[in-house]
Structure 1
Amino acid sequence: MFGNIGWGEFMILLVAALVILGPERLPGAVSWISKSLRQVREYAGGATQQLKDELGPEFDDLRKPLSELNQLRGMTPRAAITKHLLDGDDSIFTGNFDDKKSSGANGSAPTPKPTTTPLGDGDKPPIDIDAT
């Protein structure tokens, strides 16, 4: 719940609460907040258990897409594209197209690059009729 708050921010909040509430009311406010959070967690746990009881095995079918969305939320855009659109083949980003583990669209091995030899001074480049 407080995953985005660092120690510095927490200390600033604590000092602000001490100044606003005073040292005599601060312990009571902290205990009230902790009791309220505990009660909210119990309500959320009860609601989850009630959904599990009512939906039965369909509850897991409901949770699966939600867990996939949570995994995507933590991914970088590059990782999400690589995983879901390119089937894990990141050669488009790395430029390493000769890698043995990268595969073509049908799962076959990638076609190797053709080897070319440099042309001499009087040689004409080959022409591909089908390409023009």
Structure 2
Amino acid sequence: MFGGLGGTEFLVIILIAIFLWGPDKLPKALANLRRFISKARNMASNAAADLSREIGTDIRPEDLNPKTFVRKHILTEEDQEMLTNPLKSTMRDLQDGTKPLQQGLTDATRDVETTRRSVNRGSITRGTNGSAVPAAEDAAAPAERTRGRAADFDDVT
């Protein structure tokens, strides 16, 4: 609802504020809080404008991260290219090296899909215990499958 606060948390904060300041002083306390937040925002924007004016470029709050600041204001574009080119060439080499693996996986996936389609067409049916069994074998030995399962349940008690 309000920056990560849910309805119940917001309601609890309002109730605590009413108990602390009382219903008659709460509007004045909220007005003071609003003024404080407004002044803090103005101070922050003025500080960013002063910093921008001193440095000579436009500064945004996300630019104040030291890594971003160095990258933007100290390194030239040539320096940035020099730093990123080895990474780009390594990435290209890695992509070229994995192309045969990717092609092999694509072929294997295609083979699995072909097999799955042929299985779903009826050459193999589901057995009585849920396993895939050829249709002729499914009808031939139902007693053998149930005998194995019954033996498993004898030791339960």
Report the TM-score, using the length of structure 2 for normalisation: 0.41
The structure richer in helix per residue is 2
More RCO (CA 8 Å, sep 6+): 1
